[in-house]
Structure 1
Amino acid sequence: METKKFNLDRLVGNWESINLNPTVIIYKNGNSYLLSIIHMNETSKQANPATYEIQEEEEGFFINYNLKRTAISYDTKLDILTISALGDYLRN
C-alpha cells in the first residue's frame, strides 16, 4: 500500500466515510490543499464544516485535527483515503 508520498491532486474531491464518520472534501486553494470535515447537526440539519490545511513532513501528509497531528494516507490501487483519526474513505 502506498501511503507516504503521493500527488495531492489525486485526492481533490468528495470522500464518504465507510465508518459513518463525517464527509470530507479536499480542494486546492492557491498553493495549498485544504481538507474540510463536514459535521452535520442532527437537530438543525445544518452542515458545519471545519477546514484544515494539509501539511507535509518526511513521514507523509497530515492535518492538525483536535489539537493532534492526524496522518493522511492514500492507497493508489484501491483509491482509499485514510485519515488516522477517522478511518477509511471512498471517493463519492
Structure 2
Amino acid sequence: MKEEKYTDGRLFELNVLVGNWESINLNPTVIIYRNGNSYLLSVIHMNETSKQASLATYEIQEDEDGFFIRYNLKRTTISYDTKLDILTISALGDYMRN
C-alpha cells in the first residue's frame, strides 16, 4: 500500500508531531514543539548516577529527502507512520506518543 503524499510531496506535516514522545527502545524521551516558524526537537538525557536531566535541542530541517536534524554531527532522518502514530528517528529508533 502506497502512502498518500501532500501536494508538495510530503508524507506528513510537522504539526502532527508536536508533543512528548517516549522511546520504544528505552532511548531518551523526545519533545517536539513549534517556535515561531520553526519546529524544534529536544532530547532529554537522564544521568542515572546524579539523576540530573540534560536537554539537547535541534531544529528540524527539510530537504528533498524529507525531515531531519543534525544529531551528533550526522544527518538524522525523522519519519512518521500516520496509521500507527509512530515517530522514527534514525539514530534513536521508534517512539510512541506519550
TM range (shorter): over 0.9
Q: Give the TM-score normalised by structure 2.
A: 0.89
Relative contact order: is structure 1 or structure 2 higher (C-alpha 8 Å, sep ≥ 6)? 1
* TM-fit CA distance, 1:5: 2.9
- Supply the distance in 2 between the matched residues of 1:45 and 1:12 (Cα, whole angstroms): 26
Query: Which residues of structure 2 form unaligned runs of 5+?
Result: none
* TM-fit CA distance, 1:76: 0.2
In the other structure, the counterpart of 2:12 is 6
Structure showing greater Rg: 2
Figure out how many residues of one structure are paired with residues of the other and give that number: 92
* Cα root mean square deviation, aligned: 1.5
Residues 1:36 and 2:48 are matched in the alignment: no
Runs (4+) off by over 2 Å: 1-5
Percent identity at matched positions?
A: 83
Query: Which residues of structure 1 form unaligned runs of 5+?
Result: none
In the other structure, the counterpart of 2:33 is 27
- Supply the distance in 2 between the matched residues of 1:35 and 1:21 (Cα, whole angstroms): 14
Which aligned pairs between 1:43-62 and structure 2 lie closer than 5 A?
A: 43-62=49-68
Q: Give the TM-score normalised by structure 1.
A: 0.95
Aligned partner of residue 61 in structure 1, secondary structure: strand
